[in-house]
Structure 1
């Protein structure tokens, strides 16, 4: 398969997705929403702990593995390798990509200051297909994708608290 054919196949698969899973640097895969801009795919990565999607270290990774899930989210459609490139804020390419991402952004708050906030608090990253398809129909990786849950300070609730004046579980029979 040539690079042009691979890029065309990737474009066909990406049209069916609104979310992809990205992995880079040996870390855990992370979900990311994206927008297609001129044959490449742009993601928004949080830089300073703001309310955007957290993709720590992706801007400096250089390359990432992209997994495209099927709509029921129980299977994979494809996997491919991407070059990661950061767009410079204020450039013409950044402005074009930001306007496309803005229309794709769901549940955005502060629409009037969104582009200014992205310039200072987030990175716009371009995922350019390298032409390497790692998984596609009939050629899936058989390795287990199970991972242990991410560590978190959250704990289980424990025993239920005692509540006064609560209706008893067993109700008396009415005669």
Structure 2
């Protein structure tokens, strides 16, 4: 009985306090998404211009959600979610968007944001289904993709002397 109560409570509290959740739908890799916890589920907005992409998240599907600690960044809990797309301007959509609007940082259109979301974006509800899942033992870090970019090289040994001479002349 205790585990049945602690699982949902842990999912709710951890997800409420975390600024990001890692969500993996049918896409090959999990994606970090900002969200808001409202009415027993995580809500995300995206797939529109200037908003976060939501690859692999389809209404009626499921997703694996991993919640991280806000202060340390480590995994706290993982849970399975039922994905539901909210119909624009429905009562449930309006309530979720009111919460999301308050958490959206750096919005380009301010008060017109809900109208843009209704026209161009999707609002998804990620409802916990069943219990939380076990966290993996190892790191889930992926190897970086190959790139031509390089890191900075060490500065030349004589450069600090040249810079100090210029300061002394002034």
TM-score range, shorter chain: 0.7 to 0.9
- In structure 2, the residue matched to 1:86 is 85
Q: Which runs of 5+ in 1 are unaligned?
A: 161-167
| Equivalent pair of 1:45/1:56 in contact (CA under 8 Å) | no
CA distance in 2, matches of 1:74, 1:124: 26
- Once the 2 structures are TM-superposed, how far is the Cα of residue 143 of structure 1 from its aligned partner? 3.4
User: Cα distance, 1:83 vs. partner?
Assistant: 0.5
Q: Aligned equivalents of 1:159 and 1:93: distance in 2?
A: 50
Separation of aligned partners in 1, 2:42 and 2:123: 10
Query: Can you list the C-alpha shifts for 1:69-128, whole angstroms capped at 9, x where unaligned?
Result: 112444111111111100011111111111110011111120132111101211000000
Counterpart secondary structure, 2:138: coil
Deviation at 1:29, TM superposition (A): 1.1
Match in the other structure for 1:112: 111
Say whether the 8 Å CA contact 1:78–1:133 is kept in structure 2. Answer: yes
- Displacement over 4 Å in runs of 4+: 157-160
Q: CA deviation at 1:6?
A: 2.5
Where 1:57 maps in the other structure, the secondary structure is: coil
Aligned match of 2:36: 35
Scaled by the length of structure 2, what TM-score is found? Answer: 0.79
Distance, in Å, in 1 between the alignment partners of 2:151 and 2:143 is: 22
Q: Which has the higher helix share?
A: 2
Indicate how the Cα distance of structure 1 residues 14 and 122 shifts in structure 2: closer, same or farther if over 3 A, else same: same
TM-score (norm 1): 0.77
Q: 1:124 is matched with which residue?
A: 123
**Residue 156 of structure 1 pairs with residue 157 of structure 2:** no
Unaligned runs of 5+ in 2: 166-170
Count of aligned positions: 158
Q: Does residue 65 in structure 1 map to residue 64 in structure 2?
A: yes
